[in-house]
Homo-oligomer: A and B are copies of this chain.
Amino acid sequence: MIYLDNAATTLKKPDCVVAAVTEALCNMGNSSRGTHDSSLKSARAVFAARSSLAKLFNAPGPEQVVFTQNSTEALNMALCGLFCKGDHVITTALEHNSVLRPLYRLEDEGVISLSVVPADRQGRPDYDAFSRLIRPETRAIVCTHASNLTGNVMDLERVGAIAKSHGLLLVVDASQTAGAYPIDMKRMNISVLCFTGHKGLMGPQGTGGMCLARDVRIRPFKVGGSGVQSYSRAHPAEMPTRLEAGTLNGHGIAGLGAGVDYILEKGVDAIHAYEIALAKHFYEGVRDIPGVTVYGDFTNWNRTAVVTLNIGDYDSGAVSDALWEDFGIATRPGAHCAPLMHHALGTAEQGAVRFSFALFNTLDEADAAIAAVKELAQCD
């Protein structure tokens, strides 16, 4: 199998991730629930993972790193816990439903009003719209760091500067970039960074979280057992316990920590350079094939290692199935949970076939994918 669906989940994890999870499954107790060795082992692994993530993202400190099940949960927690009635929020056409649906729900409940920064047919956001859409009651900009559909990266330094100059919160969905593209919370003025563990961070599914700037307070989403302050009616107010309830995914977090340490050692820049080299090779091999339409902005390579295309007017699902059945190449077709982006690209009906590369892919695999696209395009 040639696995090119890494933007959905990285299939191949570093050996150290598998080893860390296996070891944890055999020896790890419940974090913060007791003082015997197996409980402390869990608490230490959780703290180490917080520290590594804080280092990777230049977050204020380990206590500002909160663990969730995935980025969707982190985004729900942030968006439900930050806004008050009357707040205005700006988001973008690049967003995934993990951002849009929580915002739509808040809008439908009459809590917030919502404006959307549009994108052009190359999926590029209209950066000028951010400032144009700001009103006196605007509270936040909520945006993805990169489109899961096109791989276009949002210029977060530019958006962060706008947010800072207007005193707005900046909530970022880093599902597509965490571990695969440099992120610096402080330099980018990010208030809340939401990430998932099972994509670029190369950790297990069931892991993810958020990093909070020092002055950001989110109302608790879930409350319950905390292992401390048991006689208080209310969930503890201190970070990170404030936003975590019940037993953490210690086994998964051990693996996530190993994945992040692996990335810190390799360097995000080096990982990004390698992945982009593969994507560029593939892009250059397919862009001129007659009948192939590639989506997104390829005028520069400040992007993620995603190349999304269609062949003629073939249904993207049929193309993806043929890639799998006839060539053993795993891709993702369809709507990609990014409805506004598809409307901007003009692919709402057809969907699109996404090829997404990661660290364990090779140039040979990219070549095989080019050959497969060529062959399918000739059938057109």
A71-B246, A198-B247, A227-B337 known; A18-B11 Cβ under 8 A: no
Does chain B have a CB within 8 A of A207? yes
Whether B13 and A25, one on each chain, are in contact in the complex, defined by CB atoms closer than 8 angstroms, is yes
Whether B9 and A26, one on each chain, are in contact in the complex, defined by CB atoms closer than 8 angstroms, is no
Contact of A97 among B224, B317, B332 (CB under 8 A): B224
Does chain B have a CB within 8 A of A96? yes
Q: Which residues of B contact A235 (CB under 8 A)?
A: 101, 105
Of A116-124, A154-162, A250-258, the one touching chain B? A250-258
Q: Which residues of B contact A18 (CB under 8 A)?
A: 22, 25-26
Does chain B have a CB within 8 A of A34? yes
Does chain B have a CB within 8 A of A204? yes
Does chain B have a CB within 8 A of A264? no
Q: Per-position contact with B for A34-64: 1 when CB-CB < 8 Å, else 0?
A: 1111110000000000000000000000000
A196, A330, A338 — most chain B CB neighbours (10 Å): A330
Q: Which residues of B contact A338 (CB under 8 A)?
A: 230
Interface of A is mostly: loop
Does chain B have a CB within 8 A of A8? yes
Contact of A36 among B22, B26, B330 (CB under 8 A): B330
The bracket for how many chain A residues form the interface is: 35 or more
Does chain B have a CB within 8 A of A296? no
Q: Which residues of B contact A108 (CB under 8 A)?
A: 233
CA distance A230 to B96 in the complex (A): 9
Whether B30 and A98, one on each chain, are in contact in the complex, defined by CB atoms closer than 8 angstroms, is no
Of A72-80, A266-274, A301-309, the one touching chain B? A72-80
A98, A205, A251 — most chain B CB neighbours (10 Å): A205
Q: Which residues of B contact A12 (CB under 8 A)?
A: 26
Does chain B have a CB within 8 A of A285? no
For window 12-30 of A, CB contacts with B under 8 Å fall at: 12-13, 17-18, 21-22, 25-30
- CB A38 to nearest CB in B, in angstroms, measures 6
A71-B246, A104-B233 known; A33-B332 Cβ under 8 A: yes
Q: Which residues of B contact A221 (CB under 8 A)?
A: 76
Q: Per-position contact with B for A236-267: 1 when CB-CB < 8 Å, else 0?
A: 00000000011111111001000000000000
Whether B36 and A5, one on each chain, are in contact in the complex, defined by CB atoms closer than 8 angstroms, is yes
Q: Per-position contact with B for A67-107: 1 when CB-CB < 8 Å, else 0?
A: 01111110110000000000000000000111111101100
Chain B residue at minimum C-beta to C-beta distance from A102: B223
- CB A205 to nearest CB in B, in angstroms, measures 5
Q: Which residues of B contact A17 (CB under 8 A)?
A: 25
Does chain B have a CB within 8 A of A350? no
Does chain B have a CB within 8 A of A334? yes
CA distance A337 to B37 in the complex (A): 21
Contact of A224 among B76, B224, B331 (CB under 8 A): B76
- CB A69 to nearest CB in B, in angstroms, measures 5
A68, A71, A245 — most chain B CB neighbours (10 Å): A245
CA distance A190 to B251 in the complex (A): 31
Whether A38 and B11, one on each chain, are in contact in the complex, defined by CB atoms closer than 8 angstroms, is yes
A-B contact pairs, 12 of them (CB 8 A): A3-B29, A11-B38, A30-B205, A35-B324, A96-B225, A101-B245, A105-B235, A196-B246, A198-B251, A205-B252, A224-B337, A249-B249
Q: 14 other contacts beyond A13-B25, A231-B335, with CB at 8 A cut-off?
A: A5-B33, A5-B38, A21-B251, A25-B255, A33-B332, A37-B330, A69-B73, A73-B222, A75-B224, A76-B245, A96-B225, A97-B230, A100-B233, A108-B233
